[in-house]
Amino acid sequence: MTSVRVGANTLAEQARRRNPVYDNTHPWIAPPAVIPSSAYNPTLDIELAAGKRGTRNTIEDLLTKGTRGEQGFALDQAEVKRQEGEQGQEHQRALAALAQNYERLGGRQTEQANAAGVSRGGALLQAAMKRKANEGKAAEPININYQHQQEGDQRSLARLALSRQQEGEDIGTGVSRAEREQTQFGIDTNTVKAREATNNGYLDSGGVVARTSTQPGAGFVRVGGAPRVNPYANWGRR
């Protein structure tokens, strides 16, 4: 389709004289999947590729951190459990040693009563009751100490679980943020590409200069057709 001339200018030239950036006469139309690289600075593609690599590396690092964190959590949890087991064994040994001491004391008291000829009286019964009471009192600090150890172990496990949960949440947030920022960077890059294509005379299929999007936050322009100007054709060449 040939352009219609008005005076010395084509319709496309007249459209180019308007400010395409603030021309709101056309609704937003999504750009093509790929804008020809000859219509914009190719460093944009390089920067976009570098951003994608950086995002992948960031996500890989975060996932590696998550794996190591899970391994560390399992080791720390196992260590607390090991301490719990040792504390339980020590508690049982302490109670057994205490019971053995009072058992030996009972044996000595029985021998003394037999030697005094009072083994059939109520003295041995009273001594046994007193030993039992004293043994219970002696066991109190052992049990209290063990209870405190158990409470401390539970607090340690709770802190480990909370720390692991928060780390997992932070990693998830970091991955989401990296993906979100890369997506936005891609949108911003496409916006710059489209603006440069427009400014460089890239025409749509109707022969009119591509207009900037009026869609809030979209940042795209309508582009199409072959580039009229190719300022980057020799980019990177000597």
pLDDT at 59 over 90: yes
Instruction: State pLDDT tens for residues 105-164.
Output: 877 777 676 666 655 556 667 777 888 888 888 899 999 999 999 999 999 999 999 999
What ranges do the domains of the chain cover? 1-40+200-238, 45-188
In angstroms, what is the C-alpha Rg of the chain?
Answer: 42
Check residue 15 and give its pLDDT.
Answer: 41
Q: Model confidence over 26-58: pLDDT tens digits?
A: 444 444 446 777 888 889 999 999 999 999 999
Higher local confidence (pLDDT), 23 or 77? 77
Q: Are strands 9-10 and 5-6 parallel, antiparallel or unpaired?
A: antiparallel
Q: How far apart are CA 164 and CA 105, in angstroms?
A: 52
Q: Which residues contact 91 (CB under 8 A, 6 or more apart)?
A: 142, 143, 145, 146
Q: What is the pLDDT of residue 176?
A: 93
pLDDT at position 84 over 70: yes
pTM comes to 0.60
